[in-house]
Structure 1
């Protein structure tokens, strides 16, 4: 049997007088400082990798070996292969060793933010009744374990993708005979792409873990429903989120379609670059309250 929520005496009197169908808590806002810290940790790793890789590769092409390449000396090909294999081994190990600690930092920060923001929201809902929000039920632990694994895998994929693109660019520059003329603009472009990818990944994963914790704790507290709140920000808002989901009430156990193209269902913040939020609500005629 689902847990029921008790309202304060004053809130009960208010509900009896005005008979609202829905009582809303405060929105569960993201912790921008936490997202920024996780983003900074990840960017520090990424910049170490991109700067060292660029320096080493360009140095090879500017060396005697590289200059000989233009005289049809094939040694630059073997030297670049050895160099890139070494860089790949080095940074795969570095990212693997740091991925778990970055993810655990994100998880603990999201849990702390959730505990505070959800407590405030529940007090708003109930009219001052304090409920514990430090729940980590079995289902929630399983979801968080899956989220941690996904986050670690995404972090580890960064050097794999970046150095793979570098290998392709080096091979192409050797085949074309353009060498540095191709590689210098490639690094300028690719390094920026990789940094932006890492930044978006950090922000997306922080939002997803935060909302996963909130949803699990809301269920444990007896809150079954939430209001979808569009972020009203960003240069390219999702029209479906803004016009179809925003302001509507949904069940945590039957979340809405969030991508009409794929039929994927889920919570705010689940899709890449989604900054939408949840607001806990209770409907007074659904058996939620005592």
Structure 2
């Protein structure tokens, strides 16, 4: 996703710079070069929206499948440490969870590209209306790229947490496991106090229903930027 965003930004920047150079004299004279720039922006938007739409499904599938493979291997290793050997099969329930994760990722990828293109269009319009030069526009476009790149990184990290959480819970509930203990991650810069407390208290919760934290039912990894996990309770081994 980062690589495709970088290619899009590079091409859009190159084509807009060329068009802006041709219109810069008009901008300085308070003429109206906006129509030419709008035409270039419309062409670029149509091209890259199609490319992201075509690639989004494949990117999302690879992303979720990677999370699924990691989740399955980790859970099998945990079961093996407790003396169980389980061969997972692609059940309908897990397939449904995977399909939902893929669909959510497709929408986020498309939304991220649309927002980036809209941000570029706004920067171009503002530069023309304010009579700014090319260097000012280039600086504005670079800032927009930074915003989009950070958002892409957030989407990748956050969706990895969510996909891992959803698929793992599906596998565990299919095996008849019902409860888990909240495990707080200390990796985030701004930990949520109620998540910290849940980890400290070793909060026990139902895998399907979730844990009642902050006035609502949630699962570890569900909130934005939440890196919390859980330790599944295996009856006869982990019961208090």
Q: TM-score, normalised by structure 2?
A: 0.90
1:29-80 Cα shifts (integer Å, max 9, x gaps): xxxxxxxxxxxxx1001111112222222222222x2222212331x20111
Residues 180 and 217 (structure 1), Cα distance of their counterparts in 2 relative to 1, 3 Å cut: same
Counterpart for residue 68 of structure 1 = 26
In structure 1, the residue corresponding to 2:187 is in which secondary structure? coil
Cα distance in 1, alignment partners of residues 218 and 51 from structure 2: 33
Structure 1: any 5+ residue segments left out of the alignment?
1-41
Higher RCO (C-alpha 8 Å, min separation 6): 1
Q: Is the 8 A contact 2:24 2:134 kept in 1?
A: no
Cα distance in 1, alignment partners of residues 66 and 47 from structure 2: 29
1:218 is aligned to 2:172:
yes
1:80-122 Cα shifts (integer Å, max 9, x gaps): 1011111111111111111111111122222221221111112
Matches within 5 A, 1:82-121: 82-121=39-78
Structure 2: any 5+ residue segments left out of the alignment?
none
Further displaced range: 98-107 or 243-252: 243-252
Matches within 5 A, 1:126-165: 127-132=82-87, 134-165=88-119
Root-mean-square deviation over aligned CA pairs: 2.1
1:196-248 Cα shifts (integer Å, max 9, x gaps): 10011011112211111110000111211112111111211122211235521
Q: Is the 8 A contact 1:224 1:253 kept in 2?
A: yes
Cα distance in 2, alignment partners of residues 57 and 110 from structure 1: 38
Q: Is the 8 A contact 1:121 1:280 kept in 2?
A: no
1:209 is aligned to 2:168:
no
Residues 205 and 60 (structure 1), Cα distance of their counterparts in 2 relative to 1, 3 Å cut: same
Cα distance in 2, alignment partners of residues 83 and 245 from structure 1: 53
Cα distance in 1, alignment partners of residues 208 and 186 from structure 2: 26
4+ residue segments displaced more than 2 Å: 135-144, 179-182, 244-247, 263-266, 282-286
Larger Rg: 1
1:51 pairs, out of 6, 10, 14, with 10
Counterpart for residue 255 of structure 1 = 210
Q: TM-score, normalised by structure 1?
A: 0.76
Residues 140 and 131 (structure 1), Cα distance of their counterparts in 2 relative to 1, 3 Å cut: same
Q: Is the 8 A contact 2:179 2:233 kept in 1?
A: yes
- The size of the alignment, in residue pairs, is 238
